[in-house]
Amino acid sequence: MMQALNNLLCASDNEVNTVYMYLRLLNVPVSRHAVKSALMNHPDANSLLSVSDTISGFGVENVAAMVSSDELDQISAPFLVRTQSGEGLSLAIVKEINHDSVTYMPSGQQRWQRIRKDVFLQDFQRLVLVGAVNDTTRHPKFAIDQKKEESQQRKIIFGILALPLLTVSMIILSLFKYRLAAIIPSLYTILSLAGIMVGSLLLWHEIDRQSALLKQVCAGGKRVNCDSILSSQASTVFGISWALIGFSYFAGSLLAILTMGIMNSLLFVCFTLLSLCALIYTAFSLYYQSRIAKQWCLLCLYTQGILILQAGLLFSNSKIDMFNALIPENLILPMITCYIIPFVLGLSIVPVIKKAREGEEYQKSLAHLKSNAQVLKALLYTQPMVTSPANGLGITLGREDARHRLIKVCNPYCGPCASAHVVIDEILAGNPDLQIQIIFTASDDDRDRKAAPARHLMAVSDSADEELLKQALDDWYLAETKDYSVFAAKYPVHDKLQQQGSKIKAMREWCDLMEIRFTPTFFLDGYQLPRSYQIGDLKKLRWAADEDI
């Protein structure tokens, strides 16, 4: 149940799901949000290159190749393949392949399917991407992100299930207590809950019309087009969407039942009167879809089906006498309040979420712009230049003859510096033509708490063992609590500490000359990184696009 609901919630993008499932199949501890962010913000989004770069960023070395159908058996599973589906080219995961059958997960699916090999090859487009796990796949940050996402998903699922569980509990109690008399009110309550679910999907359509989940729900024949109906002029009345009105109607009804009692006969008299009004809307909507638009919206039909069923239940209930019943005045205000609350909430929240989604699209466009090497080059030339030579200062990682050099000025105890360290590792791993230079702001004064770890890291770098140095940097920057004594015991450097004084002074003098005011500060190829750029933006930069950046 929980897994099914989680799959439903995460049906945001077929390619995101496929790449995420592939990484999990390789036992990479990664969050779905991280995968989505990497794919969506890639400068070549929706391409095989974006998939390759994304899984590389999570420590999975990969290669793409064109292979024939006969050669497919020779590739070690699991791997990704391009296939032809009803929506065009899509990405699928092959888990197992033999002479007769293929076990794979098609795009947009959450389950493995086993089909005949000859059937699979009909859709196979000869393009294969094979990944292999390396050591960086076990990066602690990946596991931390995954745990955070799992915790967040549990909270969301609990929040979603809270209302249905409360409603079902109330129904069960009423059936035990009132038996047959509670059947019609209970069915009406269940239909109201179903109406809230459908209404939520209709509201979500206003926020994200490209949602993969909505596309799955609204899939149908040639005359089924939810987007056309929900975007038409008839989808609103006085500027308010029917989706919001429908959601408020069902949510208000359920709220009234929960607060005023499922066996409140006067309450159901009010529902009967409201149901008459709802049937007028139902007739209008069916007429518009069948005669004017000549297309159908499945979500709208679900809504109208629920309204008709509710009306049938109310009119068949012999205990409801709406012609002779008197509705007390003290019931009217609570009823109105129950309907106003979801209406106001929807009216307030939907635009906020919609703007947030638009902001995501803006970020995608900005990321694409930032990945342009020429744009960065133009902006770099407007930034402060490195006026004092930094050769020989600090710690260097990467090739000595690298075409590009990134200087990171940092404080060993700086939180943002620690966060940037993880990103710089990823940038260096993906760009062999880049050298990283780390310069510390520490002074050679023993009273400066930055001095001890800076000296120690410099001493470790003197060992000329780059792997040891990388491990020491990871252990220092990624530690939850930075305890120098523990770090020093793990990396003994003996008398080398005393040799670092002049180096620490030289770095401090350079920082003063460059007027370093905050950490981390970055310089790329001799120019300070523009404030509009984050260090993570360099991961998406096409370094080979311009040799002179």
Which are the contacts of 2, defined by CB distance < 8 A and separation ≥ 6? 157
Q: Report d(CA 376, CA 540) in Å as an integer.
A: 12
Distance of CA 150 to the CA centre of its chain: 12
Which backbone phi and psi does 340 adopt, to 5 degrees? -70, -40
Q: Report d(CA 184, CA 189) in Å as an integer.
A: 9
Which backbone phi and psi does 96 adopt, to 5 degrees? -155, 140
Closest CA to 50 of 40, 59, 60: 40
Which are the contacts of 133, defined by CB distance < 8 A and separation ≥ 6? 26, 27, 28, 59, 60, 61
pLDDT score, position 513: 92
pLDDT score, position 465: 81
What count of other Cβ atoms lies within 10 Å of the Cβ of residue 111? 7
Closest CA to 187 of 169, 165, 171: 171
Structural domains in the chain, CATH included, are 2-138 (3.90.70.10), 161-358 (1.20.1440.130), 384-545 (3.40.30.10)
Query: Which of the 8 DSSP states describes residue 494?
Result: G
Q: Are strands 404-410 and 434-440 parallel, antiparallel or unpaired?
A: parallel
Say if residues 456 and 483 touch (Cβ distance below 8 Å): no
Say if residues 420 and 389 touch (Cβ distance below 8 Å): no
Q: What would the pLDDT profile of 127-151 be if each residue is shown by its tens digit?
A: 899 988 765 444 555 555 666 766 7
**pTM for the full predicted model:** 0.65
Tell me, letter by letter, the H, E, C secondary structure of 124-189: EEEEEEEEEECHHHHCHHHHHHHHHHHHHHHHHHHHHHHHHHHHHHHHHHHHHHHHHHHHHHHHHH
Q: Report d(CA 490, CA 201) in Å as an integer.
A: 55
Q: Report d(CA 437, CA 392) in Å as an integer.
A: 9
pLDDT score, position 496: 81
pLDDT score, position 324: 57
Q: Report d(CA 63, CA 81) in Å as an integer.
A: 12
Closest CA to 206 of 350, 358, 352: 350
pLDDT score, position 506: 93
Helix (H) or strand (E) holding 81: strand 79-85
* Angle, alpha carbons 515-521-524 (nearest 5°): 105
pLDDT score, position 4: 44
Q: Report d(CA 12, CA 20) in Å as an integer.
A: 12
pLDDT score, position 2: 45
Q: What would the pLDDT profile of 435-465 be if each residue is shown by its tens digit?
A: 999 999 999 888 889 999 999 999 988 877 8
Mean pLDDT by 10 residues, the chain (549 residues): 47 76 86 81 77 84 86 86 75 88 83 88 87 62 63 77 90 91 93 94 86 73 82 88 94 94 87 91 92 90 95 78 64 91 93 82 75 85 91 89 90 89 84 89 89 91 85 90 90 83 92 90 92 83 54
Closest CA to 406 of 396, 419, 418: 396
Q: Report d(CA 408, CA 391) in Å as an integer.
A: 13
* Angle, alpha carbons 62-66-70 (nearest 5°): 110
Burial 114-126 (b: 16+ CB within 10 A, else e): eeebeebeebbee
Q: Report d(CA 53, CA 44) in Å as an integer.
A: 10
